[in-house]
Structure 1
Amino acid sequence: MGSISYDGLVVVVDDRTLTHLQIVIVNKLRRGEAFLMSWKDSVEAGSGRSAIWMHPQVLIYFKFDGSRVPVINETWLRELADSAESSRGLVVTTEAGDVPSLAPRKYSQPRGTVIAPTDGGGRDRTTATRVRASAELSS
């Protein structure tokens, strides 16, 4: 199981789903687009639904448990991307189209802390993705 860490929240997601979410999220943030991402909460998280507003200026960290990148399902990727473009925002779904239950938790990472090590040129050496304002990405 991998995770997305975003603005003090960690959402645990299986690596295959996380890979597809990462592609959709990074593409949106690269274009400077803010959007809503939502999921169904697990019983441990109190049931119901949760949502976060994803913004290009907020640090996001993707942590994968496994080292292999899964084969990308283009149909599922397109469905997630279409969801992200809708007024409902990006709804986390499984490959079969079900809405899995996730258990987000808070963490105490100080704001502005660099989570991923870099190679000295500002590029990550891990599977982390640091996304900042689109102006920084284009420079």
Structure 2
Amino acid sequence: MGTLYYGDSGTPIGIDDRTLAHLKVAIVTKLRRGESFTVSWMHADDDPRGRSTLWLHHTIPLRFVFDDVEPPELSREWIEDLMRSANSTGGVLLVDEHVDTDRAPKIAAQQFDA
């Protein structure tokens, strides 16, 4: 479980390492361009019910902390989904990674059809 620290509050926001790695790419891309935006997510089952939203601005301190030593392999599709939502009026909506389960069996089957 990774952690996102935003601003001076010191309140940790727990986010799965893989999710946080993808979110980091989207956030850093937007902030590098000097763009402000929001990030929203539903609370985890073990947290109080509800959802949260952060307003991200390049002048506010931000730190990403990962539990895993090695960075995960990133999904271009997931990053593109996050970037599309970052460019919308609603800001980034942190959603689970979309995994195309139909594609894997087809690829495996094609390997053995030769």
TM-score (norm 1): 0.66
Between the two structures, name the one with larger relative contact order (CA 8 Å, sep ≥ 6). Answer: 1
| Mapping for residues 20-35 of structure 1, pairs under 5 Å | 20-35=22-37
CA displacement at 1:45 relative to structure 2: 3.3
Which residue of structure 2 aligns with residue 52 of structure 1? 54
Task: Give the Cα–Cα distance (whole angstroms) in 1 for the partners of residues 79 and 90 of structure 2.
Answer: 17
SS of the aligned residue for 1:5 comes to: strand
SS of the aligned residue for 1:70 comes to: coil
Task: Give the Cα–Cα distance (whole angstroms) in 2 for the partners of residues 12 and 84 of structure 1.
Answer: 20
Which residue of structure 1 aligns with residue 67 of structure 2? 65
C-alpha root-mean-square deviation of aligned residues, in Å? 1.3
CA displacement at 1:11 relative to structure 2: 1.1
Query: Unpaired segments of 5 or more residues in structure 1?
Result: 98-139
Query: Unpaired segments of 5 or more residues in structure 2?
Result: 100-114
Q: Which has the higher helix share?
A: 2
Q: Deviations over 1:38-73 (max 9, x none)?
A: 000135432111101000000100000011111110
Which residue of structure 2 aligns with residue 87 of structure 1? 89
Query: 1:81 is matched by which residue type in structure 2?
Result: M
SS of the aligned residue for 1:16 comes to: helix
Q: How many residues align?
A: 97
Q: Deviations over 1:69-128 (max 9, x none)?
A: 11110011100110111111011111138xxxxxxxxxxxxxxxxxxxxxxxxxxxxxxx
TM-score (norm 2): 0.80
SS of the aligned residue for 2:49 comes to: coil
Task: Give the Cα–Cα distance (whole angstroms) in 2 for the partners of residues 11 and 96 of structure 1.
Answer: 22
Which residue of structure 2 aligns with residue 6 of structure 1? 6
